[in-house]
Amino acid sequence: MGQRFPTKTGREMDRIIRKYCNLVRQSGSHRTFVRANDTGMPFTFSDHDSAILPGGKVRRILVGDVGLSIEQAEREVGMR
């Protein structure tokens, strides 16, 4: 089993997500993204800038919603 993913703030996650996804809608702090290659379902990210997201949630968002491989996600969060 690999290392645990580090925690990230909402602002840090928003920066990473925007590298791979397009913002399609925003309502307050809730932002709906779609993958840049238009695959997969749109997903909503609640961007509370200073909120700390636990490592498991960071991994779920990057791998599950954004569609990155584990290796890509690890690079994005500074694990590799």
Asked whether the predicted pLDDT for residue 16 surpasses 90, the reply is yes
Asked whether the predicted pLDDT for residue 3 surpasses 90, the reply is no
pTM value is 0.89
Q: How confident is the model at residue 39 (pLDDT cuts 50, 70, 90)?
A: confident
Give the pLDDT confidence score for residue 2 in this predicted structure: 65
Asked whether the predicted pLDDT for residue 43 surpasses 80, the reply is yes
Q: What is the mean pLDDT of the chain?
A: 91
Query: Using CA atoms, how far apart are residues 24 and 4, in angstroms rounded to an integer?
Result: 31
Q: Where are the domains of the chain?
A: 8-76
Q: Hey, which CATH number is domain 8-76, 3.30.565.10, 3.30.230.10, 1.10.8.100, 3.30.920.30?
A: 3.30.920.30
Asked whether the predicted pLDDT for residue 58 surpasses 70, the reply is yes
SS3 string, the chain, reads: CCCCCCCEEHHHHHHHHHHHEEEEEEECCEEEEEECCCCCCCEEEECCCCCEECHHHHHHHHHHHCCCCHHHHHHHCCCC
